[in-house]
Amino acid sequence: MANGGYRDRKAQRIGENLDVLLGLLAFAGLVLVIVTVVVQMSGQPAWMWSLALLAWSLCCGTLWKIRSRIRPRPPRNPTP
């Protein structure tokens, strides 16, 4: 039974780490959107920023999908 608790805690830690990574990626994505819009509005070529934004979107979507698979299980009821 101790092994199951270890696995649950490990899955929870992985989920927490992915949450932190998704938060950092969200901030970076906001910066990328702002930079892409500013570069595009200034008349400069923005294709590299757009490709970076596409790569960011794919990465973030993949991590989101992985995170949804690693949902922490509800705690077990202790047996009396």
> Alpha-carbon distance 64 to 48, whole Å?
24
> Alpha-carbon distance 34 to 31, whole Å?
5
Quick: pLDDT tens for 34-70: 999 999 999 998 899 999 999 999 988 888 888 777 7
CB distance 72 to 12 below 8 Å:
yes
> Alpha-carbon distance 73 to 18, whole Å?
16
Q: How far apart are the first and last CA of the chain?
A: 15
pTM over 0.75: no
